[in-house]
Structure 1
Amino acid sequence: MVTKIFNNTKRAFSLKSDEELKKSLFIFRMMDKPIMVSIGTKLTNWSLKLHLPVEGLIRKTIFEQFCGGTSQEDCIPVMEKMYTKNVHSTLDFSVEGEENDAAFDAALATKIKLVEFAQKRKEIAFTVFKPTGIGRFAIWEKVSQKEKLTPEETAEWNRVKARVDKICKLAYDLDVKILADAEESWMQDAVDWLIEEMMEKYNKEKVIVYNTLQCYRWDRLQYLKDIHIKAKEKGYKIGAKIVRGAYMEKENERAEKLNYPTPICEDKEATDVNYNTVLYYSLQHLDDINLFIGTHNEVSAYLAMQHMDEMGYAKNDDRIWFSQLFGMSEHITYNLALNGYNTVKLVPFGPVRDVIPYLIRRAQENTSVKGQTGRELALLEEEQHRRDGQYVKRVK
């Protein structure tokens, strides 16, 4: 029987000073009000267009909550602090929305530096790249739809493949695990095909390359079973990062607009079942599938712990990692880590102005995910009450 561990707020927020706790409370109270998120988003975009000096305010509030710093070196104090509690890091350069080769080559250079940086830092367990960060969305989409490419597009696609291979080969050479983010379903097939090629190439002896499965897609369990068969036939191992997903509203709107069946599970309960089934299947085949469990869901985390116990896996088995986003679900992250499980925070970074699209999405997703902000807020308030009680006792 797995012991319930996630209600320990003293452990969860042990790294936060009283001032930092109050700041987090303020931010999540704002995000608990959809109208405030909507107004804040509009004001931020308006201020940026007018080049108003709002970056300092953003950095001191939402940026510090959800980002580790402006550069990889800037993140070192945050990573070292978390590592004292057995929490590893995955640095994610979170600049989005580029559309030209010069920007993609610059992003590639940044990812190369990150892999090299990770190899030297014991705090970093994984690196990550976003496929649309190193190639145009439209080219991924066209390849996914199996449309005929022009000669120029063929050359462009070859450059995209070369960038992916360069990142994965370096990760292999330096023995650094690397995650490929998931994208929208209508361009994800090209990502899947290319990352499968990388796994076949670099995951022969051990898992270096991981693909991301968004389990709000009802087809992901069958996809995993299919590539499992391929991997066994071709003699390589699978790296599977499993998440629930990030593009639900966009996916459903597009499916309705273009009149095709939505790739998304019918409701949250179906998504939860799908996620937990993919989780169980992966754990059943751990010799073939290494697992990166990206979840902010306590039930899924407890299920993983229970399955691990029943299957006889050690808590620190290097084939199983738990992960949450920086600034969220501290009660899951720190309690898992302090109970001996492999735990990693995904830590976004980048210049404040450049990561604002990520921060806006983070605020909007927290507001739209049922119960997410409320749960974060309740735990922060509980810790505040606990500390206030401790203060009262000291004064007495």
Structure 2
Amino acid sequence: MLPEFDNTEIAFRYRNDAELRRARFLFSSMGSPFLTKIGMALTQFAIDWRLPVKGIIKSTIFNQFCGGETMQEAADTANVLGKYGVGVILDYGVEGKESEEEFDKAVPEFIKAIKYAASQKTIPFISLKVTGFARFALLEKIHAEGELSTAEREEWKRVQKRVDDICTEASLYNIMVLVDAEETWIQEPVNILTDAMMEKFNRKRVVIFNTFQMYCHGTLSYLRDALAKAEKKGYLLGAKLVRGAYMEKERARALEMDYPSPIQPDKASTDRDYNAAVLFCLENLSKLAVFIGTHNERSCMEAVKYMNAHHLQAGDKRVWFSQLFGMSDNISFNLANAGYNVAKYLPYGPVKDVLPYLMRRAQENTSVKGQTGRELSLINKEMTRRRLA
């Protein structure tokens, strides 16, 4: 059964009229780079100066893209999505911490999320950012192959233990872990750590997934190498495929520091490599599990058509599709309605702590050509359908 991505009745049946109006307002605003830039600056200023704007943020952009401030609020959101066959990835969206105390505090929060997820049918994944457990500067030094001091070596061991403790619990409770990609200049230690976790926990089934950002021009070959390494060492590869999240930052740094940009020269190149990566993974399902994280309808449809042509069940547990909460509901809910495995990324946490995530959502919607226009056209179509129903 092929999904119909234009079916807005299925796409938005979990949203009431007020929520659709809010979404229309937000995507209309994000369609303007000028308004987005001004809005982000004012929001950051208000937070920094502790102005009473939390209620406004929470009732608008936060509620559109986040599951709640607490795990219970996120679980309530997950239950709503679960009624329509859509699972969630619990994403404790706190970023930018830099102290050992904060890193240590995050571990029990993640373990708590794993144990809760194990009690729910609607939460098959949690998401993990290594920068939530390690200093950025430490990762940068390891990536650059700098010589670590004794104190830094001990610090790195603590990072490894934090991630290992979380992955151990995830394996025990049968919850899958998606390790997010980071900026290219700190990615190598993330890969090293994730490979070690996959080698340890992905022996009989895929528990740990590494993320492959296809907007980098070397990622497709790295994906092939990662599978060869997994085969050689006797574990299953977990491959989360995304286009990428740090394009502007990557290009700006490359320009400033005068080195070749790691980013593909154009969107067509990224699309080509992304679709090739999806095909590569689907052709090798005996050796891996693939997580197709994209808002691109064509990429999703090509994957679905391959599965149909090769008699792969829609609900094959080795294949997952994912979009961010608050975006591309036409893809998520229509895929789920057709029987495919779908999980929405669902960040949660205090409003001020998830602000960096919300800023990225606003920036991406402004910079991705056609994204806001597509969202708006679908929302308007559904609002018209409801008026005429």
Question: TM-score higher than 0.5 here?
Answer: yes
Partner of residue 110, structure 2: 111
Partner of residue 281, structure 2: 282
- Equivalent residue runs for 1:1-396 within 5 Å: 3=2, 5-390=4-389
Partner of residue 393, structure 1: none
Fraction of identical pairs, as percent: 46
In the superposition, the TM-score normalised over structure 2's length comes to 0.98
Alpha-carbon shift at residue 259 of structure 1 (Å) = 2.2
Instruction: For 2:275 and 2:196, locate their aligned partners in 1 and report how far apart those are by CA, in whole Å.
Output: 27
Instruction: For 2:71 and 2:272, locate their aligned partners in 1 and report how far apart those are by CA, in whole Å.
Output: 37
CA contact (8 A) 2:336 2:342 kept: yes
| Residue type of the alignment partner of 2:190 | V
| Residue type of the alignment partner of 2:385 | R
| CA shift digits 1:274-302 (9 cap, x unpaired) | 10011110111001110000000000000
Instruction: For 1:28 and 1:282, locate their aligned partners in 2 and report how far apart those are by CA, in whole Å.
Output: 33
| CA shift digits 1:256-276 (9 cap, x unpaired) | 222222211110000000100
Instruction: For 1:50 and 1:234, locate their aligned partners in 2 and report how far apart those are by CA, in whole Å.
Output: 52
Instruction: For 1:257 and 1:232, locate their aligned partners in 2 and report how far apart those are by CA, in whole Å.
Output: 39
Instruction: For 1:4 and 1:317, locate their aligned partners in 2 and report how far apart those are by CA, in whole Å.
Output: 16
Instruction: For 1:186 and 1:204, locate their aligned partners in 2 and report how far apart those are by CA, in whole Å.
Output: 30
Instruction: For 2:150 and 2:246, locate their aligned partners in 1 and report how far apart those are by CA, in whole Å.
Output: 32
Instruction: For 1:300 and 1:227, locate their aligned partners in 2 and report how far apart those are by CA, in whole Å.
Output: 22
| CA shift digits 1:157-182 (9 cap, x unpaired) | 11111111111111111111111000
Segments of 5+ residues of structure 1 without an aligned counterpart are: 391-396
| CA shift digits 1:96-116 (9 cap, x unpaired) | 111110111111221111111
CA contact (8 A) 2:3 2:334 kept: no
Instruction: For 1:77 and 1:158, locate their aligned partners in 2 and report how far apart those are by CA, in whole Å.
Output: 36
CA contact (8 A) 2:178 2:210 kept: yes
CA contact (8 A) 2:181 2:187 kept: yes
| CA shift digits 1:91-132 (9 cap, x unpaired) | 111111111101111112211111111111111011111110
Alpha-carbon shift at residue 4 of structure 1 (Å) = 5.6
Instruction: For 2:3 and 2:179, locate their aligned partners in 1 and report how far apart those are by CA, in whole Å.
Output: 32
Three-state SS of the structure 1 residue aligned to 2:352 is helix
| Residue type of the alignment partner of 1:137 | F
Aligned in 2, Cα 1:124/1:3: closer, same or farther, shift over 3 Å?
A: closer
Instruction: For 1:287 and 1:16, locate their aligned partners in 2 and report how far apart those are by CA, in whole Å.
Output: 38
CA contact (8 A) 2:3 2:335 kept: no
Runs of 4+ in 1 over 6 A off after TM superposition: none
Three-state SS of the structure 2 residue aligned to 1:192 is helix
In the superposition, the TM-score normalised over structure 1's length comes to 0.96
Instruction: For 1:45 and 1:342, locate their aligned partners in 2 and report how far apart those are by CA, in whole Å.
Output: 37
Three-state SS of the structure 2 residue aligned to 1:364 is helix
Three-state SS of the structure 2 residue aligned to 1:344 is strand
Alpha-carbon shift at residue 322 of structure 1 (Å) = 0.3
Instruction: For 2:52 and 2:155, locate their aligned partners in 1 and report how far apart those are by CA, in whole Å.
Output: 38
| CA shift digits 1:52-97 (9 cap, x unpaired) | 1100111111111001111111122211111110000111111111
